[in-house]
């Protein structure tokens, strides 16, 4: 039985209408998804803006009582004394000393681990060693703190008799152990991004394996390596529990690593522990210290971003 042209026309129109309705739902969904993704992405931006607003607004109250000059150049921090002093330099000294010690530990071990895993380790060993190395990053920092206080400090006392029970050396060493995975993992990823053809070309020209690593791989991956180091420094500056437990609360402005020193994060923990009444100068000082810490970590992250963009190698 033949189908009339009118029937064919009706069937085609129905198919077009059904297809249009289905596509209409899809088009509406496509319009909603960008809005939803924008709202989700804006959460992080709004959170950052909120943190900055709180830090600045509360720090203003502190700087109404204490001058910028006294805060950033003072070498004495005695917030609870009858004649209080709010110099932040002892906290900066403790923070930078612990970070420097941590980098002395983490930098050589992390880079050597990355070079071994990327260039020398067989595939079987790499599959086992890299996850084991990254397990260090999953250990809670409070565990590292007790490890520094109960094991590392007593061991160091046998080597350094004048070492105090709480000191900056022990937490600095343990912080270095904690950030080894960050340097090792990110640096290895940067080295693995270097094309193997560059290695093969250097080996074909008669270079040794060590020369390939030093003259080809490391310079080519320098952007990622430096970025990993800067991020590790930022992580060490912001560490809290290790220094809170093992470095003590003595606000010394000293270069002696055997003495107790306090970092900016440890001071924030101390002030929020309940010793400072809300609305007091001591209370507002924690926001000034937190703002200083925020600025330092922000600068480190911006430096890492600048380095990774400026010296990033492009391979075809």
pLDDT digits (tens, 9 = 90+) for 111-135: 999 999 888 888 888 888 888 887 8
Q: Are 122 and 259 in contact (CB under 8 A)?
A: no
Look at residue 249 and give its three-state secondary structure: coil
**Higher-confidence position of 32 and 203:** 203
What is the pLDDT at residue 270? 83
- pLDDT given for residue 20 in this prediction: 57
What is the C-alpha separation between 285 and 59, in angstroms, rounded?
Answer: 7
Around Cβ 176, how many Cβ atoms within 10 Å?
25
Sign of the four-CA dihedral 230, 232, 236, 240: positive
Question: Which of 221, 237, 250 lies closest to 298, judged by CA?
Answer: 237
Confidence class for position 104, pLDDT limits 50, 70, 90: very high
pLDDT digits (tens, 9 = 90+) for 255-288: 888 888 888 988 888 888 766 677 788 888 888 9
* pLDDT score recorded for residue 126: 84
φ, ψ of residue 125 to 5 degrees: the values are: -65, -40
CATH number of 73-310: 1.10.3720.10
How confident is the model over 36-57, as a mean pLDDT?
87
What mean pLDDT comes out for the span 50-66? 88
Phi, psi of 142 (to 5 degrees): -65, -30
Query: pTM of whole model > 0.85?
Result: no
**Tokens 């607004």 appear where?**
57
Interval 21-41: pLDDT, tens? 666 666 666 677 778 888 888
Q: What is the pLDDT of residue 8?
A: 46
For residue 68, pLDDT beyond 60: yes
Q: Per the structure block, which two tokens stand in for 312?
A: 């990033």
Q: What pLDDT is stored for residue 98 in this prediction?
A: 92
Contact 253, 75 (CB under 8 A): yes
Non-local (6+) Cβ contacts of 292 within 8 A are 88, 92, 264
pLDDT band at 173 (very low <50, low <70, confident <90, very high): very high
What is the pLDDT, as a whole number, of residue 23? Answer: 63
CB 244 within 8 A of CB 145: yes
Length of the chain in terms of residues written: 316
Q: Domain boundaries in the chain?
A: 5-65, 73-310
Distances (CA, A) of 259 to 7, 78, 99, 226: 95, 18, 16, 31
Instruction: Assess whether pLDDT exceeds 70 at residue 305.
Output: yes
Residue 107 is predicted with a pLDDT of 93
- DSSP element (H, E) containing 6: helix 5-65
């Amino acid at each position: 039985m033949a189908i009339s042209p009118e029937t064919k026309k009706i069937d085609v129109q129905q198919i077009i209408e059904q297809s249009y309705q289905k596509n209409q739902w899809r088009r509406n969904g496509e319009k909603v998804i960008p809005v939803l993704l924008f709202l989700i992405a804006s959460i992080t931006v709004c959170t950052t803006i909120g943190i900055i607003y709180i830090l600045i607004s509360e720090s203003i109250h502190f700087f109404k009582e204490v001058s910028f000059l006294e805060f950033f150049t003072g070498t004495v921090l005695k917030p609870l004394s009858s004649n209080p002093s709010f110099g932040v330099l002892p906290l900066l000294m403790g923070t930078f000393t612990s970070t420097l010690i941590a980098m002395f530990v983490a930098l050589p071990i992390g880079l050597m681990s990355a070079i071994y895993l990327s260039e020398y380790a067989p595939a079987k060993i790499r599959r086992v060693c890299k996850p084991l190395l990254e397990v260090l990053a999953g250990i809670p920092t409070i565990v590292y703190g007790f490890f520094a206080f109960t094991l590392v400090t007593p061991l160091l006392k046998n080597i350094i008799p004048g070492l105090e029970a709480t000191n900056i050396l022990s937490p600095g060493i343990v912080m270095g152990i904690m950030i080894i995975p960050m340097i090792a993992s990110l640096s290895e990823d940067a080295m693995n991004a270097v094309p193997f053809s560059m290695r093969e070309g250097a080996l074909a020209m008669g270079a040794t394996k060590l020369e390939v690593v030093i003259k080809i791989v490391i310079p080519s991956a320098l952007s990622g390596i430096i970025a990993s180091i800067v991020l590790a420094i930022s992580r060490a500056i912001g560490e809290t529990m290790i220094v809170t437990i093992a470095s003590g609360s003595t606000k010394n402005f000293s270069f002696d690593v055997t003495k107790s020193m306090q970092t900016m994060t440890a001071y924030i923990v101390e002030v929020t522990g309940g010793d400072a009444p809300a609305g007091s100068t001591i209370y507002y000082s924690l926001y000034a210290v937190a703002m200083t810490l925020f600025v330092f970590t922000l600068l480190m992250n911006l430096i890492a971003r600048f380095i990774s963009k400026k010296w990033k190698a492009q391979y075809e």
